[in-house]
Structure 1
């Protein structure tokens, strides 16, 4: 019997390219379709290559006895759905700090922009009370505050991590800090630098921020934030 021997120094992607050549035409087409389905479902490249590598090793061995990928793993759609639904160690914990901050910043910054824009629109105010620099600071400070709050959320499985009182205190201090940054920047930075934005501009910025948040959360698989 032919043994599957692949240089251990090869990357998973290179190893997969070698293994797929050992498949029957039917199994090769199945794996190509599965790869496309996983890409469409936004499965991270590293995870995808590892899963495909494991399946390829199994297929090369099992196809010798006449078994097909469809018999082993079901239809391409069924297999892809199972892979996406199955949690991994990476998916069980929170995302990296920068991802949580990005998600929170887009949420807070977008919310402030929309509220300010709607307020200016309904009150017929030509320039909003928030300037361009203040708006930018809202996104940055908002992300840092949300990250800080999320890191201090009560954990029922680990009570020593922090209780509800700590969470409320951190949340209060965090939001007050955000308000100080916002009002302070408006008072300190002159309008010639902190260019006033009209109501429509604020609404557009807020809407774009929420759209960006939606796609970032989906594409980066952000976990552990507040929203």
Structure 2
């Protein structure tokens, strides 16, 4: 009987796999890593990336064990975790963004609108009634910067990133102040002398507006700028 028992034990040991991960991990978690490692080998990930993913999981598993959580509870099934590792970490759509990038995006939007608007107006008007300074390129630039800053502040206060939103009455007050500041800025920029702030030909305005549009699209993709006006 003892010989038969030893043979059965030997057969069981042949089916047992080598533990994966530190000894502090429970057998269930080590088994999870073993099957995960086997599944990752079948992917196109390099061995370095496979090991890096496992190394990143181990501290979380050790911390989860203290709370009574298994690897499956933390990461889902092995198949689900393999997919997550291949796709990489997901970006949080509500994550806070660089406010200066938001301001740049808004300023480019306003600058684009001004140039396209004046370009179209001048193109269909033989004798423009818009006085020098009102449509000057320097005036547009200053107004775009001021408007971009105001729109950026509005976006930060209205955006939902897990923070408490500004009360509606405060947003209304902010909107009134923003309008007054923008109107005052518009009045001041019209005083800039013509040689520094002269009107440009219609075609030039349209080209500048198109360049601003292309640049805005590029920056939105390059820096993944979200929560913008449009």
Q: TM-score w.r.t. structure 1 length? A: 0.59
Summarize the Cα distance change of 1:182–1:101 in structure 2 as closer, same or farther, 3 Å threshold.
same
Task: List runs of 5+ in structure 1 lacking aligned partners.
Answer: 5-26, 33-51, 61-69
Are residue 121 (structure 1) and residue 123 (structure 2) matched? yes
What is the aligned partner in structure 1 of residue 183 from structure 2?
A: 179
Residue 168 (structure 1) aligned with residue 168 (structure 2): no
Q: Does the aligned pair in 2 maintain the 1:146–1:225 contact within 8 Å?
A: no
Structure 2 counterpart of 1:12: none
Corresponding residue pairs, total: 173
Aligned residue number for residue 52 of structure 2: 57
1:116-152: CA deviation from partner (whole Å, max 9, x where unpaired): 2212222234677411211221231122111122233
Contact 1:106 1:213 in 2 (8 A): yes
Specify the structure having the higher radius of gyration (Cα): 2
Q: Does 1:224 align with 2:227?
A: yes
In structure 2, the partner of 1:17 is none
1:40-96 per-residue CA deviation (whole Å, 9 max, x = no partner) reads xxxxxxxxxxxx976442479xxxxxxxxx9x846xxx976x437x234xx532211
What is the aligned partner in structure 2 of residue 92 from structure 1? Answer: 94
Rate the CA distance shift 1:54–1:92 in 2: closer, same or farther, 3 A: farther
Q: TM-score, normalised by structure 2?
A: 0.58
Q: Partner of 1:148 in structure 2?
A: 153
Query: Do the aligned residues in 2 keep the contact of 1:109 with 1:142 (CA within 8 Å)?
Result: no
- Per-residue displacement from partner, 1:166-221 (whole Å, max 9, x unpaired)? 2233223223422332332122x100111321222112111211211111111101
C-alpha separation in 1, matches of 2:158 and 2:178: 13
1:196 aligns with 2:191: no
Specify whether residues 125 and 110 from structure 1 end up closer, same or farther in structure 2 by C-alpha distance, changes over 3 A only.
farther
**Corresponding residue for 1:13?**
none
The CA RMSD measured in Å over matched residues stands at 4.1
